[in-house]
Copies of this chain bind each other. A is one copy, B any other.
Amino acid sequence: MSDIGIKQLAKNLGISTASVSRALSNPDRVSTAMRKRVQTAAKLAGYRPNKMGASLRTSKTRNIIVIIPDISDTFNSGVIRSLERTAANRGYSVLFGDTQGIRELEITYGDMVQTRQADGIICFSHRLPFTDEDMASDSFKMPPLVNSCEYIDAAQAGGHIVPLVTIDNVKASRELTQHLIDLGHIDIAVITGDISSPSTTQRLQGYQQAMLSSGLPVQQQLIYEGTYTLEAGSTITKEILLAKKRPTAIFCMCDETALGCLYALKEHNFSIPNDISVVGFDDIKFAQYFSPALTTIAQPVAEIGQQCVEVLIDIIDGKEIKKPMVVLPHRLVIRDSTGPRPDR
């Protein structure tokens, strides 16, 4: 803990700094005697190599910057935890940038690779964290970057391929909708996420596909634009209840929204699933404790986080990536918030 540097340590031992460095970070390039001597001396003196110095020399920071619109979102939290864990195992630290969806902040955090504060980026947004200006420049070089859960349009990315770790949103959404259709539901309302995000679009697609392939009409007035929040679920559900012809099922595009939805329904004395069925998406840890327990799509949170980091590190290490897209399996979890369509 004493503020000792490699030079001082070398001097104490009467050897060169090179030997110290080797003994500590490349132990096999040095004799056993030397290795032991240096290592014990280092421990004794409480020597801690200054990572700044090392980083400057090697131009590797062993940091990963995670750019995320809302770090306190429950689904994200799960992924984050896994990210951090995997990164730590691989010898990387994780920095977080919570952007609140603000473009300017995205750019700021995106810049951290350029300024050598991080070796790569994991992004939870559908936009790249670089200015159009930067990306248009012909000297632009895409830094190591992996996207989590949100597809980035190749056009927006200026032709760059952005690796992606995700589930198949279309398919998951189709299955979830099909589950409702199988229960006899015909009028199925949807509360979407932010309409600008591809995950929302994809889930909407899945919904439409399921409806059409069962010969059911897609009713535009049943599609409500929301956000991935509790509040949206609550307020929009009230709106839905005011409709002349009420749906018998509500598809919420995330679990938080579904909780808001359940809340509003119960507030108005609807019985779930007897009067109205509700489904969510994500399977956050609370979902099974909701009342009623929520039918939803479970995303493999831990695997998503892990894969993001693995792929990113591969890119950082300059390895060839076979597939730019990792699609992980989801799971339809049927609980108590869905039931047969009520007779009218």
Contact = CB atoms under 8 A, between A and B. Distances in A.
Contact of A85 (B94, B98, B117): B98
A215 to B, nearest CB: 36
A49 B111 CA distance: 11
Contacts of A263: 289, 291
A140 B2 CA distance: 7
Interface stretch (A27-35, A68-76, A310-318): A68-76
Of A46, A71, A98, chain B has the most CB atoms within 10 Å of the CB of A71
Contacts of A116: 48, 50-53
A162 interface: no
A168 interface: no
Contacts of A59: 52
Given A2-B139, A139-B2, A98 B72 contact: no
Interface string A256-277: 0001101100100000000000
A322 interface: no
B230 A259 contact: no
A219 interface: no
A70 B81 contact: yes
Contacts of A141: 1
Interface in A208-260: 230, 234, 259-260
A145 interface: no
Contacts of A73: 77
B61 A72 contact: no
A286 B53 CA distance: 45
Interface string A49-69: 111110110010101000000
Given A234-B289, A262-B291, A52 B48 contact: no
Contacts of A134: 1, 46
A325 interface: no
Contacts of A7: none
B81 A93 contact: no
A61 B1 CA distance: 18
B84 A80 contact: no
A140 to B, nearest CB: 5
A49 B116 CA distance: 8
Nearest to A118: B93
Contacts of A98: 81, 84-85, 88
Nearest to A71: B81
A182 to B, nearest CB: 26
A97 interface: yes
A257 to B, nearest CB: 11
Which 9 pairs between the two chains have the least Cβ-Cβ distance? A72-B77, A2-B139, A48-B114, A263-B289, A52-B56, A72-B81, A50-B116, A84-B98, A52-B55
Interface of A: 1-2, 46, 48-53, 55-56, 59, 61, 63, 70-74, 77-78, 80-81, 84-85, 88, 93-98, 105, 108, 111-112, 114-117, 134, 137, 139-141, 230, 234, 259-260, 262-263, 266, 285-286, 289, 291
17 contacts: A46-B139, A48-B111, A48-B114, A50-B56, A51-B115, A52-B116, A52-B117, A71-B80, A71-B84, A72-B285, A74-B74, A84-B96, A88-B105, A94-B95, A94-B96, A95-B95, A262-B291
